[in-house]
Amino acid sequence: RQRDMWYRLLTSGRFAIESEDEAVALIDALKDWIDQDNAERDHGAENDYYQALDNPYFARNGPAEYPEELLLVRGMSKQLFYGDPKHVGLVDYVTTAGLDGKININTAPIEVLQVLSEGISKEIAQELIDFRGEKRNIDFLSRSDWVRRVSGFPGDLELDQDLLTVVSHDFLVTVTAKGSGMVKTGIGLVHRDDKQTQKLLYWKVE
């Protein structure tokens, strides 16, 4: 089910993907990168491929630790990851936060809302964003079925509830410090548990 969403995202025309076959191959390679075995998918890549490179390395075979790690995956280019003058970059739509792969429909951008289902057009996605932005609707947002209250949402469209959430536990934090003529910006990922305890998962200085 996540694979279907990835396919719709990559083939949406927003990214530097030249063909559907290229999208399929990248998805297979991404799955091979994070799964725990060394069995290569039809269009994927495992350690046999990565170890044969001029600068060899091993597949992660587990969850990526930081988004830029995806640049190590076969088929992932800097143009695709960061974007170019004609395309947006995947870096703005992926995160290493969380362990369940669920999408928070209360915060997801319009591009992500559209890939939840083939039946969600740009117009419908915008209506969802407008609805959740209204203060009078805030009480409805505690359940993912609030989408049914949006006037333009198709009555026969069923979203996969197992892939949705309305709660976020991980947050991106950006801190900029200035002094002595220098400017430094740090980006970190903070996890907040149900007891409101916060933990810094990673930190990098740009």
Eight-class DSSP state of 143: S
3-state secondary structure of 11: coil
DSSP strands (E only) in the chain: 103-104, 164-165, 170-179, 182-192, 198-205
Instruction: Give the pLDDT confidence score for residue 24 in this predicted structure.
Output: 96
Instruction: Give the pLDDT confidence score for residue 135 in this predicted structure.
Output: 93
Instruction: Give the pLDDT confidence score for residue 68 in this predicted structure.
Output: 92
Instruction: Give the pLDDT confidence score for residue 61 in this predicted structure.
Output: 93
Task: Count CA atoms closer than 13 A to 77's CA, side-chain side.
Answer: 13
Instruction: Give the pLDDT confidence score for residue 189 in this predicted structure.
Output: 84
Residues in the chain, pLDDT under 70: 99
Instruction: Give the pLDDT confidence score for residue 180 in this predicted structure.
Output: 86
Q: Please name the amino acid found at residue 101.
A: G
